[in-house]
Each structure stands twice: as C-alpha cells, then as structure tokens.
Amino acid sequence: MKKINIGYIQWLLVSVGFVLLWGVVTSTVGKNFSEQKELLLSTEVTLVSSRANTILKTYELFSRYIFSDVVEHPGVLEIISKANSADEGEKEILRKELYRLLENDYEEMQKYDFRQLHFQLPMGESFLRFHSPENFGDNLYEYRDSIRIVNDEQRYISGFEEGRVNNGYRFMYPVFYADKFVGSVEVSVSMATIIKTLSGLYPNIDNYFIIKKSIVDKSALNDNLDYYETSFFSEEYYFDKKVNELTLAGNGLLSEGDFQLIL
C-alpha cells in the first residue's frame, strides 16, 4: 500500500481553505462595495429630488401670484367669458384684445423665467398662446391630459407635460367668471430653467434632459420635431436641443464616446 503523505494533504487543505476564504472575503468586499455604492446613489438621488421639488414649489407659488394678480383681472375674465359663445370672427377680436391687455404682463413674466401663458376654452380649445399667438383653435384634449383634467374636473393640477408647441412644467388653473366655469389657463416654466438652477447647485455635474420619443411624436406639431434629436443614452429618447443648449452651453462634461465607455 502506498504511504499517505500527511504533509501534502495538510498543505492541500490549507490551500483549498485559503482559496475558499479569499473567495468569501472578495465576495463580501464586493457586496459591501455594491451596497455602499447603491446607498450613496440613492442618497444623492433623494437629495437632488428634494432640491428639484423645492425649486418647483417656488415657481408654483409664483404662478399662483400670476394667476390671482394677472389672470383673475375682471377684464381678462370678461373676455374669456365672451369667447365661450363667440363666433370665429368675434373670437379673433377678443383674442387680440386679450393679447393687448396682458402683453406687458407676459413680458414681465418672462423676466422671471416663465415661458408660457396659455388660455383654453371649455372642451380644450386653445384660445391664445402668448408664446405662439399664431397657433390657436386646435383642440388639445387628445394631446394634453392636464387640460382634459382641469376642464372635466375643474380643479388645479401641475406637472411636466409635452405640448403641441413646447414642453414644460405646467401649472394649470380653472377659470371662473360669475361663478361659472369658462375655461382654463396655463402658466409654465421651461425645463431649461429647472435644470439651470440645479446646475448652479451641482456645477461639476452635467444635467441632461431626455424625453421619450413616443410621447413627443404623438403630441408635438410636426414643425416642432426639429427641436429634438435622438439622445445617446437610448434611441427611445430625445434630447430637447434648446434645453441642452441653454443648460450645457456647449460645455458638456459627458460626450457620446464617454457614455459608450461607461457602458
């Protein structure tokens, strides 16, 4: 019978034990690193979300001031009320009258980064877009859930939404005249405004804005699709070119090549 080499077996057991121990240690370290990374990312996302919500809340409060001080002016409410029963010729006269009445207020709003002041009649008909006064008369129920909700439920609503002309973070208000619902109005800010404010808090981080292609393709007017380009994050998402132009100013830290390397 061949003599068993006890020393060799002991060495082999020690070696196997070391390999197993190293595997356990490596696995534990890797797991702890992943958990710490996830925790760090989660904490950072929570912080960014909190700051973004604070920014949006500030603009919401400002929008309420605009609504009460500008929109609820008796002359404005009377024009909107008359437009409810006007024919197309009369609507055109009322539209121009409303534009003249609020033109200076709209210019003042823009100084504080509000981009849109948009009036709609009941059932979602666009009456006057101050940011695009030549576009009116289109029905927005099919494209704008916010307008449908405000008109159907006659209540305030806010949130980001793609539109026919522009996207934006929208503050939507029902409009009443003599206790009768006569339409709705939107006060909104560009996403560029939100992202620029965040960039001021995070100067060494690129803040990109992307939006799902299917949403834009369904909602935006064909002439406005040129405002978008396919993102390098995913072919299913667009960049809003104007937003990136205003927020990154050509100095983006992350390029498409960098992103591919990360992947």
- Predicted confidence at residue 221, as pLDDT, reads 58
Whole-angstrom Cα distance, residue 57 to residue 246?
Answer: 22
Give the burial class of 113: count Cβ atoms within 10 A of its Cβ; 0-12 exposed, 13-18 middle, 19 or more buried.
Answer: middle
Please say whether the beta carbons of 131 and 165 come within 8 A.
yes
Give pLDDT tens digits for 58-113. 999 999 999 999 999 999 999 999 999 999 999 999 999 999 999 999 999 999 88
Report the pLDDT averaged over residues 164-176.
87
Q: In the sheet where 114-121 sits, what is the strand order?
A: 125-129, 114-121, 180-189, 168-177, 157-161
For the entire predicted model, the pTM comes to: 0.71
Report the pLDDT averaged over residues 223-241.
73
- Predicted confidence at residue 34, as pLDDT, reads 64
Give pLDDT tens digits for 180-225. 999 999 999 987 788 788 777 777 666 777 777 777 777 665 666 6
Q: Which residue has better confidence, 71 or 161? A: 71
- Predicted confidence at residue 210, as pLDDT, reads 75
Report the pLDDT averaged over residues 141-159.
92
Which helix (DSSP H) or strand (DSSP E) does residue 159 occupy?
A: strand 157-161
β-partners of residue 210 are 239
Domains of the chain: 50-189 (3.30.450.20), 193-262 (no CATH)
pLDDT mean across residues, the chain: 79
Q: Using DSSP, state whether 229 is helix, strand or coil.
A: strand
- Predicted confidence at residue 72, as pLDDT, reads 96
Whole-angstrom Cα distance, residue 263 to residue 255?
Answer: 13
